[in-house]
Chain A
Amino acid sequence: MIDPSFPAVPGHPGDDGPAAVRQAETTGRQIVVLADADDDAGVEWGRAGIREVADSRDFAAGGVPPETLDEAQATVFAQLGIAVVTADPGQVAVLQSAESPGRRVLSVSPELVHHVLQDVLDYARAYRDGVDDAVERMLHARDRNADGPGLRAAARFEDTAQATWGIQAVRADSSSCSGRGIGVAVLDTGLDLEHPDFAGRTVTAQSFVPGEQAQDGHGHGTHCVGTSCGPRSPSTGPRYGVAYEADIFVGKVLSDAGSGTDGGILAGIDWAVSNACPVISMSLGADVMQAHPPYSAAGARALEQGSLIIAAAGNNADRRAGRPGFVGAPANSPEIMAVGALDQELAMAYFSARSLPGRGGQVDIAGPGYQVLSAWPMPTRYRSISGTSMATPHVAGIAALWAEATGRRGLELWATLCRESDRLLLPSVDVGSGLCLAPQEGA
C-alpha cells in the first residue's frame, strides 16, 4: 500500500519533476558486456566495421589512459569482460547478432554520464526531507501504514489452513526449492524420532549429551527441526517447515532439561562439519557479552569447510520496558550469523536482542519468531511458541534452499542470504539486513 502522505516517487518540492523520470544523460558510446570465455576468443569487431580496438592488457598496471578511451573505437577491459564502444545502431545490431562468430555479446547499453551525487544544498534538502520523513513516520506509527514505495506493505501475516505466517513471510510457499540434497544440522534438544511428520525422511541423529539419547525429551529441538525441515504437506494442519526435502542431522547438544555446555555444542558442530552439512542451526545461547574464542574459531573453520553456522541472537531484551538487550554467545562471534525475531507485522518481537557495539556482536538477519507454530513431541504434535530460537530455523531452512538453488557454501551462502533479504524500515542494529527470503523463480 502506498501512503498518500508521501510522494510516490522521491523528488524535491519545487523541482520540475520527480528525479526518477528525468532522462538519463548519455555519452553516445555503448557499454558492451561480453560472455564469459575460457579461451581468449575475441569479438569480431571488424564485422561491425570497428577497426581501432584498444585492449587493457596492452597497457601497464596504470590502466587505460583517457586519451585512448577517447580515440579508440573500442576499448576492451579484459579483466572485466566489458568494452566501451563507439558504434551506431547498425553496428550494435551486428555485434549482438547471434550468428556473429567469436565471443558472444551479452548486453549493449548506452554509456551514462555520472556526477558527484549531491551538492551541499541538495544534501541539506535531503537531510530536511529525512527529518520530515522521520517525524511523519512517528506520527503514523500507530496505523502502520507508513511504508513508502518499494517496501513491503505493512501486512499482518496470519496462519492460514495452507501455511503458517512465517512460511508465508519468508516466501517459502512460492519457492520451487525444497532443500533437496542439502544437509541441515539442528543442534538442540534432539527430535521426536517417532513424530509422524518426519516419517520417511532422511534423519541422522546423534547425542552429545552424556547419558541421553537423541530422542527429544524437551520439545524445543523438535520445534526447531520442524521449522527448518518440516514437511511440505503435513497430514493435518498448515505447512510450517521450510526445507521439506533437506537431509536432517539431529545433534542433541542440550539435555532434556534444556541445558548444555560448550563441550557438547562444539562436538556437535564438529560432527555437522564432518558430515559436510552446509547449514548448522543453533537456537541456543548464553547471555554473555564477550565473543567466546572457541565459537569464533569454530565458526571460521566451519565456513572454510563450507558449513554456515546460524545462531539465535537471544531473548534477553524486553523492549516493552525499554530494554533492548544484547546478542549473546555464540551468536556474537563475527564468524557466526546472528538472527533476530520479527512478529506478524514484521515489527521487532519484544524479546529480540539488539546488536552490541563493536565487532561481531551484531544481528545479521531476521526471521519470523513470534507465535510460531511447529512440531512438538507426540502426543501434543504441534505447538505455537516464540523466541529468536524460532526465527533461527526459519533462516536455516532458507539457507538450505539457497544452497540448493545456487550451489553456494560458507561465506558465499552467508552473503547470498543477506543480499537477498527484504529490507525493513527497522534499525539495522535490530534486524541486520532484514527479513530472510526464499529463492523465487527467475532469481
Chain B
Amino acid sequence: MTHVSVTVGDDHRGSLDGVVANLRASGLQVDQVLGTLGIVTGSAPDGALDALRGVEGVASVDAQLTHRLPPPDAAVQ
C-alpha cells in the first residue's frame, strides 16, 4: 500500500463527489476529501496507482512525502 495525494483538476473541482466515487471504485482507500483544495488523500495498492491516474478529472497521483524535523535540541532546525 502506498499513501498518496490525488490532485483533482480545476475542471472537476465542482464535481468532487463523483471523482471520489470513481477513485474508490479504482482501489483508493480514502483518508480525507479536502474540498477547499480539491485534493483527496488516501492509500492504494501499488498496482492500482495507474488506474487512479486514469480516473476522469484526476490531474495527478503522487506518493506522499515524509517531512522530518531535527530533534528539539538541534541548533539548526
Contact = CB atoms under 8 A, between A and B. Distances in A.
Given A258-B68, A262-B41, A273-B36, A315 B62 contact: no
Interface string A210-238: 00000000111001000000000000000
B12 to A, nearest CB: 12
Question: Contact residue range for chain A?
Answer: 35 or more
B71 interface: yes
A254 B76 contact: no
B64 interface: yes
A312 to B, nearest CB: 9
A258 B34 CA distance: 23
Given A267-B41, A270-B36, A329 B68 contact: no
Contacts, number: 106
A91 interface: no
Interface string A299-329: 0011001000000000100000000000001
Greatest chain A CB density within 10 A among B5, B32, B66 is at B5
Interface residues of B, number: 28
Interface string A269-311: 1100110000000011110100011100110011001000000
B44 to A, nearest CB: 13
B69 A297 contact: no
A258 B69 contact: yes
Interface of B: 3, 5, 7, 31-32, 34-39, 41, 59-60, 62, 64-72, 74-77
Interface of A: 189, 218-220, 223, 254, 258-263, 265-267, 269-270, 273-274, 283-286, 288, 292-294, 297-298, 301-302, 305, 315, 329, 351, 385-387, 389-390
Given A254-B69, A386-B76, A390-B77, 18 more contacts: A220-B72, A223-B77, A258-B71, A260-B66, A262-B64, A262-B65, A263-B3, A266-B5, A266-B32, A267-B32, A267-B34, A270-B37, A270-B39, A273-B37, A283-B77, A285-B67, A294-B39, A387-B76
